[in-house]
Amino acid sequence: MEKFSFDSGIYLLELFLYKPYRIEIGALGKIIFPPGYYYYAGTAQKNLNARLERYQQGPENKHWHIDYFLEEALIKRIFASELDREAECQLARNLRELPETEIIARELGSSDCSCESHLIYSPEPLSEEEIEDVMPE
């Protein structure tokens, strides 16, 4: 796993489902996710590298909505930036504004904010340039 030189900030997980899955996401219930790419905006204001390592190893205990999704999804790429908590929501909004993206599961990863969702779907992977454009500064 790539280790970041900072240990606090926001992150973006690029996740992939190769076929449709019906996944029970805690209190959100069972949701059908189509195959494709998913982008999850998160924050770790301490222990960022430990959080990302936990995701890659597969969480034993489910604390967050994304833990349920990660039981089926493959992590393809991880991006991170040394920004504060507010940038997490901006990242999710920026992703949603891309023309090819949509929300499949409302409130996933956004139970502590007013965002529609922090998990954004795209049928095709986003390019490096698109990722750079959506990352807040």
- 39-56 pLDDT, tens digit each: 999 999 899 999 999 999
Residue 110 has pLDDT above 70, yes or no: yes
Over the chain, what HEC string results?
CCCCCCCCEEEEEEEEECCCEEEECHHHCEEEECCEEEEEEEEECCCHHHHHHHHHHCCCCCCCHHHHHCCCCEEEEEEEECCCCHHHHHHHHHHHCCCCCECCCCCCCCCCCCCCCCEEEECCCCCHHHHHHHCCC
pLDDT tens-digit map of 119-133: 999 999 999 999 999
pLDDT, residue 96, reads 96
Average pLDDT, the chain: 93
Task: State the pLDDT confidence band at 1, using cuts at 50, 70 and 90.
Answer: low
